[in-house]
Structure 1
Amino acid sequence: MAATTNPFTFRCWPVGDKGPKDMGEFITRINAERGGFRNVVQADLRQEISVEETDVMDVDEASDSEDDDSEALEADKSYSAINAREELLMDLEAAHQSTMLCLDFISLLSSKVPPPPNMQKSAKTWAGDTVSPVVKEIVGISTIGATKLKTSGYNEKREEEDLAVATGWRIGSGINVQTNIDSAAEKLEKELALETKYWDDILAVSDNGWAVGPLPHEPHTLGVRFGFAESAAEFKNSSIAPLRRNDDGSVRLEIGRVGRGFQRVRVTRKENGIIVDQSPLPGKIPDDAPLQERVLEARNTAFHQELWYEINREARTLLSADIYADSSSVTWRLPSGAEIIFTLEDLDEPENTHENVTNAQFSCTAQSILMQFLLFQGHRQNYNRRTTMTQVPNRVALQQPYSILRVLITNAGFFRECQVMSDYLEDLVGTMKRAGISTASLKSLTQPVTPPQLQNGSRRNPKMELNFINYLVGRLESAYELTITPDIKLFPRGRPIVIPFPALLFCVSLTPFSPNSAVENNSLNGTGGNASIVTELFRSGEQSDGPPNPLESLYPPADPARDPYKSAREAIHYIQKATSRALALKLAEETSKQLGKPDIGIAPTARSPASITDGKDIEAQVHISKDAIGRLVLSLDAYYLVGKKPAARSWSWKASGEDANGETIAAVLAKVIQGQVY
């Protein structure tokens, strides 16, 4: 084959020789390709040259075979083009023949039809121009004809009838349109009345302060939110109900699980299995009640359902307080043997046959109202925490149950223990007065209603209002001033704490307590250390300028910050012992002054720490105890010698009127010291 020529008119820039330029480059290339001159052998070079020549010959033969294949391919392409041309020409010829046959048929058919008046040529002349000569000679002109199968019966009478029918249809259509418009107007009027009734109820609900708006999952449906924004997530997200329209235009309140059923939490008190007190239940509202009343009832039901939920949560943490929970009730067993039972009941008819409010402090009605108030106060605290707290609070602290049952336990214990303390102090003062201690007196102390924050005249804010409510709820206290002598006074005080555990703490101070002891640190749902709470609750006032209380050195009370009294009986035990020592000191001083014997004084002995001696062989002991039936008794036990034999005698005084022959304890002690009793 002839050598192929280069079709390009422009050539690349000439490339320089690839051989080494100098001896250094040559040596470097030998070292890189051969690994040094030692590996360059003449036999290897000749073999490489022969291999390169063989590869060139193979490439030439391959190029020749490729040229032969390309020529065969070009021949096949030429043959295919010729066949395609022949097929196209045959198709064109067939189409031409079919067209000519159609033209001959139509021309013969039209030769029988008379031409229109405005045509100059006849049908035969027109057909003769279009029919092929072969068909014209074989068949001839006007040999094919066509006629109508049916003639039209349309005339003027039929036209008038059709016009009358069309006019009737128009009139009927107008009447139908008027009828449809009247029915649509009537339907629109009824729909307007139904919508007016529906929206009147909706506006009445909105005007009462309820949040009305589209549902989150159904934006085209109107709903009302009847729950509380600060309630638990289980109730906050479910306290919304759609407001759908009934067929009569009234609003149908579709309530889900939360708020359904008209329920209330009920408190029942049982003694020996018999109901003695029970919180009342309101009646069920009728189904046709106004919408705002139904929404309010749904809100109240949701509130009590959340209250029941929180009571069950808290009951699981109060097993040590004898509170037990099951699926249908929560039972609180009191120390007296009675039971307080909390249940969630459905509303039917008003029922208050067992309501008993003779003891307002412990009545089931009061406890039910207090529980509702505590839950509402918990909502307020959540709102205050959410709107004022700058840092993210501890999640565990936010998930703690509300202090509802704890407050009930604390209040019940407070009234019970304070009654014990009051009865004892009254009996003690009465007994001392019966024994001739005219300086004995008892005075009940109360805290001011206004909390310390509002006394300073500071600006009020929502947090201060919240603390003020906590102060009013948690300001239960029992404070007394027990005067034995003008120089010896005792100040018992008891206050409940809720957090971290429900308890009632007592403290006995020898100086008056500070009137500004804060209660808000013992928040209903707050946190804090027990030591700081107790220190703040029992903070004493400033020392007076008068003489010190002799009990500071004789028998001091326990430190309230470290070891407060856990019950009224522990505080009573100290008061009883301190009063015995104070009376012994008072009697010793008065008798020593009366008889002119400076040796008379108090000296703790093995028999009693409140012993009065004359420095020789006479000893008198002052005791305060209870007799077999629980009455308080003040006794003076004398120990002396008759000759060389020991002897003893006792005198007692009771608040009920029984005393030592009408004598005072000071007169009896003077006789004992003078030896006039034997």
Structure 2
Amino acid sequence: MSGAGSLMNITLRPWPAPKKEELGPQHLLQQVEQLANERGHLRNVTEKSLQDEITSGKDVSEGAKDESDEKKEKKEVYSKEERLQDVFRMQQEMSNHMEWAKFAANNAVDLISLALSSDPNKRSLASFSHTFRVEGLTQGLPFGSFGISKENHDQHVRKPDELQSLQEYEQRQELVSKGARMEALDVATDEILKAAKKLEREVRRETKYWQEIVSISDKGWPIQRVRQNARNIPFAVRYGLPEASNHFKARGLAPLRMDKDGSIILDPTLALKPKTLRVRVREYGKITGTSSLAIESGMNSTAIEKTIQLARDSLFEEELYHEMRLEARHLLPYGVFYRDSVIHVEASGVDSRHRSKMLLIDCIPREDDSQSKQSHSNDWLARNVAEGLRLLLAHEHSMRLHRRSQLPPPLTGQQQEHPSPSLLRTLLAVFRHLEGVDSLYDYLEKTSKTLESAGINVQLDTTRELSWANLAESLQSSSKKGVSATDQLLELFLKPFGGRATLTLTSSNVRQPEALSVSTRTVIGPPTFGREHRLILPSSVATELGLFQQSKFTSVEETTSYLDSILSLHIAHRQLKTEFFSRAVIKGSDARITIRTKDAKKEPTGEQDIMVRLQQGELEVTAISAANIQEEELDTEQSYTWTDRKGEMPLVDKVKSWVG
């Protein structure tokens, strides 16, 4: 009995499994899924259902089942179609069981996730199934709509001191909550005031910035948005010229940064010291003229618009100097060279005996006052040269825009060349042309006055530049559309210069006057590469004197020397021959004529050689007698000279006084 009594208090429990064999949450979930697949839904698994299965023998071991199955197989032989149907049926049952198990598991997971979603820190859409997210959450089902709580239904009567302590605790909690709310309201008020002050500062800052932006835009400067760093630098100003070369076009954009007070901070490219082109005239080693601009005071207090304008002018001046420096490399034969950051240009011309005048071109800061101790006699020349170069570069920009607006040329495999603008070439052409035509026309004017003082009727008509003389007509009849009159005028300077002088010689026995013309063409480039003088003689004069009708010369000295010989021959062989026709004889090809002399009775007694020499505006006539009156006497010689001032008597009268 004692042993049996002791066994009454014994509880049978499964032997604790070792830690290696303990099932974790993941393994337990696998076991539940396997049980659901084998038994169907877990709701049908009860103690009674298990006991019935044991009684009916459904819990037979696998070995016994296999033996019974083998016996059945021996007893029953199924066909192939029946076996396939059994396989399909079992597969359908397995898939149904798996779907039900998946559905149950998803429901369990969704239920647990919905219960946990009451805590905001544990909310996660990934913990819900796809079906629940689509059919539940997206349809308006809120988080935390299902909760689990543990309640204690036991009645508990508190003691009076415990109730008093709870009331005191609640009062303290209420006071603390009120204090916390008041403190929070104070903090919120302070934050709102700070935000209001900050907003006011931002409004003032933005207002000032936009006022300066509008002011810049009203002055005509193009404003554009900046994509990069748009928060701190929302806008930029395009102060460079749109048709500048690529290097200077990229430098023509400056961002407009905003300072703390809303004013615009100058970009480093705008804050640099502005530069200007300086042209100096040097004569005999001394500077006699300069074109640098006057110093502007108060650069620190200059408005932003003025600063942008100075930056634009400085960029234009730098581009002008850069283009001329590139062009100077190809003009060394014309007296142009680059040395010590200064471009040297000979301005006296190639025909001058003393090349004493030189142009010095460089780019300096605007506030440079190095010209204070220099002479200013040639300031007008330096200023005109500087302004002319600026106009030529501005004209090149305008023509680039005009060319871009035209229809493009056909596409080719060859890359189109973009030649540099003709700046120094145009300057050299102007100096060479004016120097040549002025020197030549001075000679012609002096010569015509000398001939008139000698009694020879001549008329001189000179034109320094034909295109300038016909400027109004050429502008009116121009066929270029879209090109302004200023650009058409400047375009004339880029073409070859041409001047013309006409010297008309009149004679008493010639009905139509004979005109001798000299055309001057100047171009620094092919095909002339300099200046060319073309002399055209009248056909009758060229035939009679045995000369070419057209002759070309490259210098004024050659042209004037040839004109002296032509006019000397014309006076001797045409003027004197016509006047002393019966007594005059031409014995050579030089400017000499032989005239028979007469005594008082008007009878020929001898001969006089009349030599005519015209040189540099002075006409000299010499008479040489070849008759020997006595053997001891030498040949007698008489001469007379006419200049551009009025002479005492005409040439014919003077010769008549010698030959009778």
Q: 1:496 to 1:292 in 2, by over 3 A?
A: same
Equivalent residue number for residue 335 of structure 2? 322
Once the two structures are superposed, the pairs formed by residues 608-647 of structure 1 within 5 Å of their partners are 608-613=590-595, 617-626=607-616, 632-643=617-628, 647=635
Task: Could you tell me which runs of 5 or more consecutive residues in structure 1 were left unpaired when the two chains were aligned.
Answer: 1-86, 97-114, 120-150, 512-547, 627-631
Q: 1:341 to 1:94 in 2, by over 3 A?
A: closer
Offset at residue 264 of structure 1 (A): 0.8
Offset at residue 174 of structure 1 (A): 1.9
**Residues 377-408 of structure 1: per-residue CA shift (max 9 Å, x gap):** 22223333333242469988734332212222
CA–CA distance in structure 1, aligned partners of residues 543 and 223 of structure 2: 67
Contact 2:618 2:642 in 1 (8 A): yes
SS at match of 1:417: helix
Equivalent residue number for residue 541 of structure 2? 550
Q: Which amino acid aligns with 1:415?
A: L
**Residues 485-524 of structure 1: per-residue CA shift (max 9 Å, x gap):** 262322223242133375222223347xxxxxxxxxxxxx
Contact 1:510 1:552 in 2 (8 A): no
Q: 1:453 to 1:658 in 2, by over 3 A?
A: closer
SS at match of 1:155: helix
Whether 1:379 and 2:397 are equivalent positions in the alignment is yes
Equivalent residue number for residue 470 of structure 1? 491
Offset at residue 582 of structure 1 (A): 2.0
**Residues 317-370 of structure 1: per-residue CA shift (max 9 Å, x gap):** 11112222134212234552233211211122677647877668x711111111
Residue number among 162, 165, 173 corresponding to 2:184 in the alignment: 173
Whether 1:291 and 2:291 are equivalent positions in the alignment is no
Q: 1:476 to 1:330 in 2, by over 3 A?
A: same
Q: 1:216 to 1:582 in 2, by over 3 A?
A: farther
Equivalent residue number for residue 13 of structure 1? none
Whether 1:364 and 2:392 are equivalent positions in the alignment is no
Q: Which amino acid aligns with 1:348?
A: E
Contact 1:267 1:364 in 2 (8 A): yes
**Residues 280-324 of structure 1: per-residue CA shift (max 9 Å, x gap):** 324356233222211111111111111111121111111112222
Q: 1:368 to 1:459 in 2, by over 3 A?
A: closer
CA–CA distance in structure 1, aligned partners of residues 299 and 226 of structure 2: 26
Equivalent residue number for residue 567 of structure 2? 579
Residue number among 635, 645, 649 corresponding to 1:663 in the alignment: 649
**Residues 70-97 of structure 1: per-residue CA shift (max 9 Å, x gap):** xxxxxxxxxxxxxxxxx9976698679x
CA–CA distance in structure 2, aligned partners of residues 667 and 400 of structure 1: 63
Offset at residue 641 of structure 1 (A): 1.9
Q: 1:611 to 1:177 in 2, by over 3 A?
A: farther
Q: Which amino acid aligns with 2:417?
A: L
Contact 2:568 2:613 in 1 (8 A): yes
Offset at residue 192 of structure 1 (A): 1.3
Offset at residue 453 of structure 1 (A): 5.2
Q: Which amino acid aligns with 2:626?
A: L
Whether 1:496 and 2:541 are equivalent positions in the alignment is no
Q: 1:279 to 1:259 in 2, by over 3 A?
A: farther
Q: Which amino acid aligns with 1:342?
A: I
Once the two structures are superposed, the pairs formed by residues 54-133 of structure 1 within 5 Å of their partners are 117=154
Equivalent residue number for residue 460 of structure 2? 442
Q: Which amino acid aligns with 2:387?
A: I
Equivalent residue number for residue 167 of structure 2? 156
Contact 2:618 2:644 in 1 (8 A): no
Offset at residue 609 of structure 1 (A): 4.2
* Deviates most, 373-382 or 665-674: 665-674
Whether 1:300 and 2:317 are equivalent positions in the alignment is no
**Residues 231-283 of structure 1: per-residue CA shift (max 9 Å, x gap):** 22221122211110112221123144x99320111111222332211113243
Q: 1:364 to 1:464 in 2, by over 3 A?
A: closer
CA–CA distance in structure 2, aligned partners of residues 161 and 552 of structure 1: 137
Whether 1:264 and 2:276 are equivalent positions in the alignment is yes
CA–CA distance in structure 2, aligned partners of residues 184 and 266 of structure 1: 55
Q: In angstroms, what is the RMSD of aligned CA positions?
A: 3.8
**Residues 422-451 of structure 1: per-residue CA shift (max 9 Å, x gap):** 2212221222122222x1232334643436
Whether 1:415 and 2:434 are equivalent positions in the alignment is yes
CA–CA distance in structure 1, aligned partners of residues 267 and 260 of structure 2: 15
Residue number among 496, 505, 508 corresponding to 2:535 in the alignment: 508
Once the two structures are superposed, the pairs formed by residues 241-280 of structure 1 within 5 Å of their partners are 241-256=254-269, 260-280=272-292
Q: 1:357 to 1:572 in 2, by over 3 A?
A: farther
Equivalent residue number for residue 199 of structure 1? 210
Q: 1:211 to 1:327 in 2, by over 3 A?
A: farther
Q: 1:243 to 1:457 in 2, by over 3 A?
A: closer
Q: 1:461 to 1:355 in 2, by over 3 A?
A: farther
**Residues 16-68 of structure 1: per-residue CA shift (max 9 Å, x gap):** xxxxxxxxxxxxxxxxxxxxxxxxxxxxxxxxxxxxxxxxxxxxxxxxxxxxx
Contact 2:276 2:292 in 1 (8 A): no
Q: 1:165 to 1:417 in 2, by over 3 A?
A: same
- The alignment's TM-score, normalised by the length of structure 2, stands at 0.65
Contact 2:591 2:613 in 1 (8 A): no
CA–CA distance in structure 2, aligned partners of residues 567 and 190 of structure 1: 76
Contact 2:292 2:366 in 1 (8 A): no
Q: 1:307 to 1:458 in 2, by over 3 A?
A: closer
SS at match of 2:614: strand
Contact 2:537 2:549 in 1 (8 A): no
Residue number among 182, 188, 202 corresponding to 2:199 in the alignment: 188
SS at match of 1:569: helix
CA–CA distance in structure 1, aligned partners of residues 21 and 496 of structure 2: 118
CA–CA distance in structure 1, aligned partners of residues 429 and 180 of structure 2: 91
Q: Which amino acid aligns with 1:239?
A: G
Q: 1:216 to 1:186 in 2, by over 3 A?
A: closer
CA–CA distance in structure 2, aligned partners of residues 325 and 267 of structure 1: 14
Q: Which amino acid aligns with 2:584?
A: I
Q: 1:417 to 1:158 in 2, by over 3 A?
A: same
Q: Which amino acid aligns with 1:508?
A: L
Q: Which amino acid aligns with 2:293?
A: L
Contact 1:591 1:670 in 2 (8 A): no
Residue number among 206, 227, 248 corresponding to 2:240 in the alignment: 227
Q: 1:612 to 1:232 in 2, by over 3 A?
A: farther
Residue number among 324, 339, 343 corresponding to 2:362 in the alignment: 343
Task: Could you tell me which runs of 5 or more consecutive residues in structure 2 were left unpaired when the two chains were aligned.
Answer: 1-14, 25-151, 157-161, 349-353, 508-512, 598-605
Contact 1:241 1:254 in 2 (8 A): yes
SS at match of 1:507: strand
Contact 2:437 2:499 in 1 (8 A): yes
Count of residues in correspondence between the two structures: 485
Q: Which amino acid aligns with 1:442?
A: L
Equivalent residue number for residue 481 of structure 1? 502
* Deviates most, 366-375 or 349-358: 349-358
Q: Which amino acid aligns with 2:202?
A: E
SS at match of 2:552: coil
CA–CA distance in structure 2, aligned partners of residues 170 and 239 of structure 1: 59
CA–CA distance in structure 2, aligned partners of residues 229 and 611 of structure 1: 71
Q: Which amino acid aligns with 1:507?
A: R
SS at match of 2:635: strand
Q: 1:307 to 1:465 in 2, by over 3 A?
A: closer
